[in-house]
Amino acid sequence: MAEPFVSDEELIAWIDGELSAEAAARLVEAIERDPALAARAAAHRRLAERMTTAFGPIADEPVALPRKETAPVISLAEVRAARAEAARTPRRWAVPGAIAASLMVGVLAGQQTMMVASVDDRSGALTLATPVARALDRQLSGEAGPIRVALSFRGKDGGYCRSFSGQHIDGVACRSGGGWELRYAAPASHAAGTGYRMAGDDVAKAAVVEQLIAGDPLDADAERKARAADWK
Amino acid sequence: MEDFEAALEAVLPRLRRFAHGLARNPADADDLTQATAERALKSREQFQPGTSMAGWAMRIMRNLWIDTARQRQRREGMLAPEEQGERVGAEGAAESSVELHYLMRALDRLPDDQREAVAAVMIDGLAYREAAEFLDIPIGTLTSRLVRGRQALMSLLGEQ
């Protein structure tokens, strides 16, 4: 007995839950009798599931409102001003060795002290969690996202570094061994939900950037190129 | 006014997911989300309290996307078409993100009207009636765009 033709439109409506109970029941019966129809239904269902699986989790990632100030967390002007200031006055602290540099958490330029809780003092401990590393891999400065990248620059060892600001942590990370390693971190100053940043944190972070940076920060063009080359 | 910001912030993750259905890659999706949030903050006087923040902000996003899509077409009209390089982060290149890039690239091949129908229903999860209202088209037009978009996606993705 020839089955009545079932259109893709009807199959899709069924998968989307848009058919009436009666029409859905008729369709289920038809599918049970017709393997070819069952295969078409399964293909449409797989597509729907792939879409849901791939896109669904995006809505679970928190996104912060754009900051009131549109400038990056650390502006080029601030960094340049800090460098000019540093050139006029003697360094208040000696350049630490490579090991000290990689543990530069909470080492500040004299004004205040800030420590990050729960960072183990062992090699590799400062490798960043995947969402942060992914943001550092792919986001350009100033783009919206759970993590916002503020500034990119070359470190004195030639590798790229980026300063960022997340829901819970503000930091500076540099490329190391194919990944990103944390060089500075502090609790995010906007964690209280105010949406505004406090100036003091930027001073501390700017001091770290100033310590690490070789030359000027990357402009938008250089940053896109660096991203295209996977920050190598 | 604080309420407005809280309500907007609460729908941003959903908006960002919808943006991934419209934009050609995750970086563009984040740009679109950012631009939408900025426009919404600027246009807050136009928001009518008691109406859906998500619906209002999604309309802003769609308008921005239509504008940028037009610019894109003009730009690409002058350039040779070029396969977007697939770039996956060196770190944390989870399989899910590879799949996401892949699906976004397939969506990018759809005509805009099919693509927004697919994004509204399959990604944002709107019911047909809601999606038709959102896109300001009759429900029959919505379903035919949705069906054609899905058929095209299935052949692009090898789901037969």
Nearest to A60 among B9, B13, B41 (CB): B13
Q: Are B34 and A66 inside 8 Å of each other by CB?
A: yes
Which of chain A's residues have a Cβ under 8 Å away from the Cβ of B143?
9, 12-13
Q: How far apart are CA A112 and CA A159, in angstroms?
A: 28
User: Does pLDDT of B117 surpass 90?
Assistant: yes
Query: Counting one residue from A and one from B, how many pairs have CB atoms under 8 Å apart?
Result: 132
Q: Is A180 helix (H, G, I), strand (E, B) or coil?
A: strand
Distance from C-alpha of A158 to C-alpha of A174, rounded to nearest angstrom? 10
Q: Do B20 and A139 make contact, defined as CB atoms within 8 angstroms?
A: no
How far apart are alpha carbons B112 and B151 in whole angstroms? Answer: 15
Task: Give the tens place of pLDDT for each residue, A1-36.
Answer: 445 689 999 999 999 999 999 999 999 999 999 999
A229 in B contact zone (CB under 8 Å): no
Instruction: Please tell me which residue, A126 or A145, carries the higher pLDDT value.
Output: A145
Q: What is the pLDDT of residues A88-121, one digit of tens each?
A: 554 433 333 433 333 333 333 333 333 343 444 5
Contact B53, B41 (CB under 8 A): no
Angstroms from B29 CA to nearest CA on chain A: 9
The pLDDT, as a whole number, for residue B85 is 40
**Chain A nearest-CA residue for B31:** A143
Chain B positions in Cβ-Cβ contact with residue A13 (cut-off 8 Å):
128, 143
Write down the pLDDT at residue B122.
Answer: 97
| Confidence at B105, pLDDT banded by 50, 70, 90 | very high
- Does position A198 have pLDDT exceeding 60, yes or no? no
What's residue B39's pLDDT? 95
Cβ–Cβ below 8 Å for A44 and B154? yes
pLDDT at A36: 94
Quickly state the pLDDT bin for B139 (edges 50, 70, 90).
very high
Closest listed residue to residue A145, CA positions, set A154, A155, A136: A136
pLDDT of residue A76: 57
If you write DSSP's letter for every residue of A110-161 in order, what string do you get?
SS-----TT--SSTTTTBPPHHHHHHHHHPPTT--SSSEEEEEEEBTTS-EE
A209: its two tokens? 């950037």
How high is the pLDDT of residue A37?
94
pLDDT of res. A83: 60
Q: Report the alpha-carbon distance of residue B37 to residue B35 in Å, rounded.
A: 6
- Structure confidence by residue, pLDDT tens digits, A131-178: 778 888 888 887 777 778 878 888 888 899 888 887 777 788 888 877
Question: Closest approach of chain A CAs to the CA of B8, in angstroms?
Answer: 8
Q: Select from A56, A65, A145 the Cβ nearest to the Cβ of B8.
A: A65
Q: Is A55 in CB contact (< 8 Å) with chain B? A: yes
**pTM flag (> 0.90):** no
In DSSP terms, A175 is beta-bridged to: A180
Joined together, the tokens standing for residue A89 give 């006055």
pLDDT of B100 = 93
The alpha-helical segments, DSSP class H, found in chain B are 2-22, 26-42, 53-78, 95-107, 112-118, 128-135, 139-157
How confident is the model at residue B93, as a pLDDT?
Answer: 46
Residues 154-183 of A with CB under 8 A from B: 178-180
* Higher pLDDT, residue A83 or A2: A83
User: Are B122 and A51 contacting, i.e. CB atoms less than 8 angstroms apart?
Assistant: yes
Q: How much is the average pLDDT of B138-143?
A: 98
Q: What is the reported pLDDT for B96?
A: 66
Q: How does DSSP assign A51-119, residue by residue?
A: HHHHHGGGGGS--PPPPSS-S-SS-HHHHHHHHHHHHHS--SSPPP-HHHHHT-TT--SSS-----TT-
Tell me whether residues B122 and A48 touch, CB distance under 8 A: yes
Q: Give ipTM to 2 decimals.
A: 0.86
- The pLDDT value given to residue A149: 83
Cβ atoms of B29 and A76 closer than 8 Å: no
Q: pLDDT band at residue A60, thresholds of 50, 70 and 90? A: very high
Considering CB atoms only, which of B12, B154, B159 is closest to A63?
A: B12
Q: Which residues of chain A neighbour B91 with C-beta distances below 8 Å?
A: 128, 130, 133-134, 136-137, 178-180
| Residue B91 scores a pLDDT above 80 | no
> Any chain B CB within 8 A of the CB of A54?
yes
Q: What contacts A141, CB < 8 A, 6 or more positions away?
A: A72, A149, A150, A151, A152, A162, A220, A223
Task: Choose, out of B3, B30, B145, the residue to mutate when testing the contact with A (most A CBs < 10 Å).
Answer: B30
- Residues B3-25, mean pLDDT to the nearest whole number: 94
Any CB–CB contact under 8 A between A140 and chain B?
yes
Q: How far apart, in whole angstroms, are the C-alpha atoms of residue A161 and residue A216?
A: 12
CB-hemisphere CA count at 13 Å for A162? Answer: 30
- Provide, as residue numbers in chain A, all residues whose Cβ is less than 8 Å from the Cβ of B41: 65-66
> What residues of A are in contact with residue B15 (Cβ under 8 Å)?
63
Which amino acid, residue A15? I
Chain B residues closer than 8 Å to A52 by CB: 122
What is the reported pLDDT for A176? 81
Q: State residue B77's pLDDT score.
A: 52
Say yes or no to pLDDT of A71 above 50: no
- pLDDT-derived band at A225 (thresholds 50, 70, 90) equals confident
B45: pLDDT confidence band, cut at 50, 70 and 90?
A: very high
Return the bridge partners of B151, or none.
Answer: none
- Residue B38 · residue B61 · CB < 8 Å: no
Whether the CB of A53 is below 8 Å from some CB of chain B: the reply is yes
Could A13 and B128 be called an inter-chain contact, meaning their C-beta atoms sit closer than 8 Å? yes
